Structure 1
Amino acid sequence: MPAFAESGGGGAEPPLVESYLDLLRRGGIAPAEGRAAAAVEERELPLIDLECLMTATGDEARRAACAGAMARAASEWGFFQVTNHGVGGALLERLRAEQARLFRLPFETKSRAGLLNGSYRWGAPTATSLRHLSWSEAFHVPLASISGSACDFGELGSLRGVMQEVADAMSRVAKAVAVALAGSLMQAAAEAEAFPAGCDETTCFLRLNRYPACPFAPDTFGLVPHTDSDFLTVLCQDQVGGLQLMKDARWVAVKPHPDALIVNIGDLFQAWSNNRYKSVEHKVVANAKAERFSAAYFLCPSYHAPVGTCGEPSPYRTFTFGEYRRKVQEDVKRTGKKIGLSNFLKQQPPQPQ
């Protein structure tokens, strides 16, 4: 495994090999049902043209048709792709180049407290099983800190401006999609325009991801199966592939589209929509030969903001985003996995005997 020979001694790679081998010694190979790879069908996600929503030229009929297509995809898939989204290809190429420079920094530099607001994450240092190990590294940056003087970009001064441009552009996409999806479930247009409550440029996140080539693929997760804990996520990925989602109780591989962004519903939108829109489990499978880059924008409210509902009766009790995050963290610490929305149902499902 020559690409990882320096992972513990000043190289760029995080100590993923060491973590893998330690978990292997302690717990063995993950059982078959927990493995990252299996024979899966590659599918095209629903593809939706956003031009009529992102410009002033779209008429009401086209806007309604676009919103309806997104609502169907959000209900049936929980995922869809969007084109003519206004996030320029040249901008995304600049971001990709900056990401490559960022992740080539020495591991000790990436993991020091000040860099990008101390937002560096890698693998799963607290994992107790190979099923919990993600073969990846990331910077999960609060938008509020990108332009702040306290956020240290080190020698990568040009990264700040590119991240800000991408965050602004993806924010416009997220807002337009969220309002259209909310409008499909609400009668009052003014209420939909204000959705989602408590979300602004100070509460959302931009995450820069890198998935190194993995000598233990394909039985390794690039990112472990999970649902997103936000309202919705806007994802830009390269053409390497590896993203899979659960569809009809089976894993489906997502075929990359060169000009599209991916949008997926998060837990909060499922709760707000009274389960009409689906927050779907998804994962990334590690690749043995190629590294993969992606960037994700997370549409999140403030921690004090109530999630609310599109209409009563709701199956969920009232809760805030902060309550939800704390409960997720408690469950992961206690059980090793996220339990999620079922914790907040008004009527709790019966416990297994």
Structure 2
Amino acid sequence: MTMNDQKSFNEIPTLDVAPLIAGPQDPAYSDCVRTLADAAHHVGFAQLIGHGLEGRQARLLDATRRFFALPEAEKMQVYIGNSDNHRGYVPFGEEIMASGIPDTKEAFDLSLDLPPEHPAVKAGTPLLGPNQWPRLEGFRESVMDYYDAVFALGKVIFRAFAVGLGQDPELFLRYVSTPPSQLRLLHYPNNEDAVDRPGIGEHTDYECFTLLKPTAPGLEVFNTDGEWISVPYDPDALVLNIGDLLELWTNGYYVATSHRVRKVRQERYAFPLFFTVDYHTEVAPLEAFKDAAGSDNARAVVSGEHLRAQTMQSFRYMLERLQRGEASLPTDALPYYSLGREAETLEPQRSR
């Protein structure tokens, strides 16, 4: 496989993932895997249909609307700064983009809901543990039902990514047991004064890949010709994009493509699952993707340490803990937002 044969693209491919879900016994499985791998290599993005999550997505949206409609004081009862493992409500202005500009959204962040007695939690693994939950009827059930389903789909996709590389189907999944894969419930209120500013919001995601359910158009992708192209809004589709860690793992064969969300006036919601691997997984270019001299183009990172370092440099409550000496960055932490194509080609800005 070659690293530098990416084709130019002007549209985002759409892929019916029903054969992937059915498994290798499906007659269309191999063709579907090839189409997925081709999209990951040349585009870094795809729209996924046939995922079967529509009912769960409707219930998730209803629960999310009810949560963000609560009074601020009630939402702040589950403020993310009250958590030891980065779970809960993220108020307006809590996140700081790489530009230093506070973001104009609110969020609710969650992950695997592990009890304190779970071995990984008892071992003190960062970013793992219980979620915070508001006192809102049906919220926890609807949110975790969707989380479990989209996480299961992520495992199907991860297996297909390995098969598409001609590797053992379990190549990546052997590192997926209790990963801090985060689901974000994002709320962008109606904003009549919304104005786009060049260079703001352009980013790549720093996990392995993302499965995004948006509720409105506005997503754009930076193509190989140096142009921003729109991702057509399909209410039935999940948007898949490659993240920095999978690009690093394949030494650039699967590409993390820069993207952004245009400022829009209407209220909207978005639900990204940032799929990653277990905290202590070391990610470095696979042997099959090193060049003839046996070298590679990127350093190895410990996936969870990288994720924690990036998070600690982008949330106010964590920055305050750092300033007070109550926390410290992981050893050998990379500077904020320093992996992926975004770090190489564009002024690094992030808005997740």
Q: Normalising by structure 1, what TM-score?
A: 0.73
Match of 1:144 among 101, 113, 117: 113
Please report how far the alpha carbon of residue 66 of structure 1 lies from its aligned counterpart in structure 2 after TM superposition.
Answer: 0.7
Please report how far the alpha carbon of residue 98 of structure 1 lies from its aligned counterpart in structure 2 after TM superposition.
Answer: 0.5
Specify the SS of the correspondent of 1:225: coil
Please report how far the alpha carbon of residue 153 of structure 1 lies from its aligned counterpart in structure 2 after TM superposition.
Answer: 2.5
Q: Residues 342, 243 of structure 1: CA spacing in aligned structure 2 closer, same or farther, 3 A cutoff? A: closer
Residue 300 of structure 2 is aligned to residue 318 of structure 1: yes
CA contact (8 A) 2:79 2:89 kept: no
CA contact (8 A) 2:76 2:89 kept: yes
Q: Residues 201, 230 of structure 1: CA spacing in aligned structure 2 closer, same or farther, 3 A cutoff? A: same
Q: Residues 200, 144 of structure 1: CA spacing in aligned structure 2 closer, same or farther, 3 A cutoff? A: farther
- Residue by residue, what CA displacement relative to the aligned partner does 1:219-243 show, whole Å, maximum 9, x if unpaired? 269x8222111111111111x2111
| Separation in 1, partners of 2:188, 2:304 | 29
CA contact (8 A) 2:251 2:286 kept: yes
* Partner of residue 4, structure 2: none
| Separation in 2, partners of 1:259, 1:330 | 34
Residue identity matched to 2:247: Q
Measured on the aligned residues, the alpha-carbon RMSD in Å equals 3.4
Q: How many residues align?
A: 295
Residue 104 of structure 2 is aligned to residue 104 of structure 1: no
| Separation in 2, partners of 1:121, 1:71 | 35
Residue 20 of structure 2 is aligned to residue 53 of structure 1: yes
Q: Residues 331, 186 of structure 1: CA spacing in aligned structure 2 closer, same or farther, 3 A cutoff? A: farther
- For 1:279-318, list aligned pairs within 5 A: 279-288=256-265, 290-312=266-288, 313=290, 314-318=296-300
Residue 43 of structure 2 is aligned to residue 77 of structure 1: yes
Q: Residues 318, 44 of structure 1: CA spacing in aligned structure 2 closer, same or farther, 3 A cutoff? A: closer
CA contact (8 A) 1:179 1:192 kept: yes
Match of 1:185 among 165, 170, 178: 165
Residue 148 of structure 2 is aligned to residue 168 of structure 1: yes
* Partner of residue 349, structure 2: none
* Partner of residue 237, structure 1: 214
Specify the SS of the correspondent of 1:244: strand
Structure 1 unaligned spans of 5+: 1-42, 346-353
Match of 1:206 among 180, 183, 188: 183
* Partner of residue 55, structure 2: 90
| Separation in 2, partners of 1:335, 1:194 | 26
Q: Normalising by structure 2, what TM-score?
A: 0.73
| Separation in 2, partners of 1:68, 1:297 | 23
Specify the SS of the correspondent of 2:282: coil
- For 1:250-269, list aligned pairs within 5 A: 250-269=227-246
Which has the larger helix fraction? 1
Q: Residues 58, 201 of structure 1: CA spacing in aligned structure 2 closer, same or farther, 3 A cutoff? A: same
Q: Residues 342, 75 of structure 1: CA spacing in aligned structure 2 closer, same or farther, 3 A cutoff? A: closer
* Partner of residue 89, structure 2: 120
| Separation in 2, partners of 1:285, 1:325 | 25
Residue identity matched to 1:178: F
Q: Residues 106, 338 of structure 1: CA spacing in aligned structure 2 closer, same or farther, 3 A cutoff? A: same
CA contact (8 A) 2:77 2:134 kept: no
Structure 2 unaligned spans of 5+: 1-9, 119-128, 291-295, 320-332, 345-352
* Partner of residue 224, structure 1: 201
Q: What percentage of aligned pairs have identical amino acids?
A: 26
Task: Please identify runs of 4+ aligned residues in structure 1 that moved more than 6 A.
Answer: 128-131, 146-149, 330-336, 342-345
Please report how far the alpha carbon of residue 300 of structure 1 lies from its aligned counterpart in structure 2 after TM superposition.
Answer: 1.4
Q: Residues 57, 86 of structure 1: CA spacing in aligned structure 2 closer, same or farther, 3 A cutoff? A: farther
Q: Residues 195, 292 of structure 1: CA spacing in aligned structure 2 closer, same or farther, 3 A cutoff? A: same
* Partner of residue 37, structure 1: none
Please report how far the alpha carbon of residue 133 of structure 1 lies from its aligned counterpart in structure 2 after TM superposition.
Answer: 3.6
| Separation in 1, partners of 2:334, 2:305 | 18
CA contact (8 A) 1:143 1:206 kept: no
| Separation in 2, partners of 1:247, 1:155 | 44
Please report how far the alpha carbon of residue 49 of structure 1 lies from its aligned counterpart in structure 2 after TM superposition.
Answer: 0.9
